[in-house]
Structure 1
């Protein structure tokens, strides 16, 4: 009886360990970023925006998601800096960048990045955006297509109902919010104002984005839409709708990955980007 009980407990422990090992349920630590070739605080609109550059070649701009910072892209910077000019930045109010009293909005944040590209004297870039960064990429494709070679948007939504209602109760997503808060305290010029910052950006999330099928139908820039098959935040059928409405858009499902695919499966994520650049 005792041996049977031990065997049962061992089996249960192994099952629990196996379940905990599913990579889409984990939030890996933000990886270290290589030393930058150049970095600084660019004066854009009514803020100062942190940016960093790496490598040489065709330019790629990586834009992080809400509450985060450029530090999420360490794996991608290390890979793509080998053969591209890589630019990362902290969106307004995020990371090292400042914010103002002006209400957050995707058009405003997009104009920040357009101003950054002008500041860096970059004509056109491949834009890789995650979550809010992907939304900014789609916004730029609509408003400033002349700045883009292509957009690769992961886990983006174009209406508020594209977000899952239970996202804030998901443990992995909650872990990210906590990690972002700790990072904010270390990086921000206003380290004690995380709650005020979250309140400001949450006001944007409550009503934006709000684009129509007609809006999406006007996009002429090549677009790749990627989403993890276990995304906690964005609905798969919403992403499928986006791929249907954006002319020529390609949909990529990232296997065994969630909203945080760039951290969970960097090799697969980077291969997705390279395939998009190659037109595959």
Structure 2
């Protein structure tokens, strides 16, 4: 079955003369949301920072949020409240990101997906839905291929499944460059190795240069419900690649969010959350 295309039509108020379009903006990173259910889990040879919100574990169906490359759990601040009203929400900093540590192994999506499973084991979560942004969305698809029994649904925002799906020179885009600079400040404030941001970016960059590179056959092996989502002005991901993913993954849906970019969850959280809750079955 071919991917379904959901077209979202919105009427937007006119912007003042000279103002940047919404998709060109980088709204502030949300403030951390307090919880008494957070910690550092010793898993897979590293320490993973996590935070839990909403329903007690074992009651509301779990939803794990996975952030993008260079980011941290705070980026999901606009999504926690609406989703935690219906589910157990688990945020985690990927290895080497935010407050999580790393070891000497090079970054790789398989390794980072295995970290997610290791945290699930530690928290006694048998199965969860995955909400991923960029690298986090790639991890969601990796989990759907390699850990099928652990994954319910995957909401994959701004993913790519091969390196050719990324727009050349994205790091020079003003919005994306501002994100990289901001992520550096946040890294310095949270990381156990605050002075190593440049080395961290270099090491993540090596992964981006060669991964992912999944075949059509690998994508067709996914049998969990997947929604491929992106902004109509994504600075990083080619539109035809997004459409290719939705057409190749069996029964996947395709959603293009209007007037939004790689940072749609910050730029238009109301629409992003509506789409997410609808996919999870809560709207």
Please confirm whether the aligned pair reaches a TM-score higher than 0.5, indicating the same fold. Answer: yes
| Aligned residue in 2 for 1:117 | 120
* Structure that is richer in helix per residue: 1
Structure 1 residue 279: deviation in Å?
9.2
Structure 1 residue 20: deviation in Å?
2.8
Q: 1:253 aligns with which of 239, 251, 256?
A: 256
How does the TM-score come out when normalised to structure 2?
A: 0.91
Q: In structure 2, what is the Cα distance between the partners aligned to 1:19 and 1:272?
A: 30
When Rg is computed on C-alpha atoms for both structures, the one with the higher figure is: 1
TM alignment of 1:26-175, pairs within 5 A: 26-56=25-55, 57-175=60-178
Q: 1:78 to 1:199 in 2, by over 3 A?
A: same
Say whether the 8 Å CA contact 1:150–1:223 is kept in structure 2: yes
Say whether the 8 Å CA contact 1:55–1:86 is kept in structure 2: yes
- Residues 73-97 of structure 1: CA deviation (Å, up to 9, x unaligned): 0010122122211000100000000
Q: 1:186 to 1:43 in 2, by over 3 A?
A: same
Structure 1 residue 18: deviation in Å?
3.5
* SS of aligned partner of 1:192: coil
Say whether the 8 Å CA contact 2:161–2:213 is kept in structure 1: yes
Say whether the 8 Å CA contact 2:86–2:282 is kept in structure 1: no
Q: RCO (CA 8 Å, sep 6+): is it higher in 1 or 2?
A: 2
Structure 1 residue 19: deviation in Å?
4.3
Q: 1:19 to 1:164 in 2, by over 3 A?
A: farther
TM alignment of 1:256-275, pairs within 5 A: 256-275=259-278
Q: 1:198 aligns with which of 184, 198, 201?
A: 201
Q: In structure 2, what is the Cα distance between the partners aligned to 1:60 and 1:86?
A: 5
| Aligned residue in 1 for 2:8 | none
Q: In structure 1, what is the Cα distance between the partners aligned to 2:34 and 2:172?
A: 36
Q: In structure 2, what is the Cα distance between the partners aligned to 1:164 and 1:106?
A: 20
Say whether the 8 Å CA contact 1:62–1:87 is kept in structure 2: yes
Q: Which aligned runs of 4 or more in structure 1 are off by greater than 2 angstroms?
A: 15-21
How does the TM-score come out when normalised to structure 1?
A: 0.92
Q: In structure 1, what is the Cα distance between the partners aligned to 2:191 and 2:281?
A: 37
| Aligned residue in 2 for 1:210 | 213
Where structure 1 has 5 or more consecutive residues not aligned to the other structure, the ranges are 1-14
Q: 1:87 to 1:279 in 2, by over 3 A?
A: closer
Q: Which deviates more, 237-246 or 20-29?
A: 20-29
- Residues 137-165 of structure 1: CA deviation (Å, up to 9, x unaligned): 00000000111110000000000000001
Say whether the 8 Å CA contact 2:83–2:277 is kept in structure 1: no
TM alignment of 1:218-237, pairs within 5 A: 218-237=221-240
- Residues 43-77 of structure 1: CA deviation (Å, up to 9, x unaligned): 11111010000010221100000000001000101
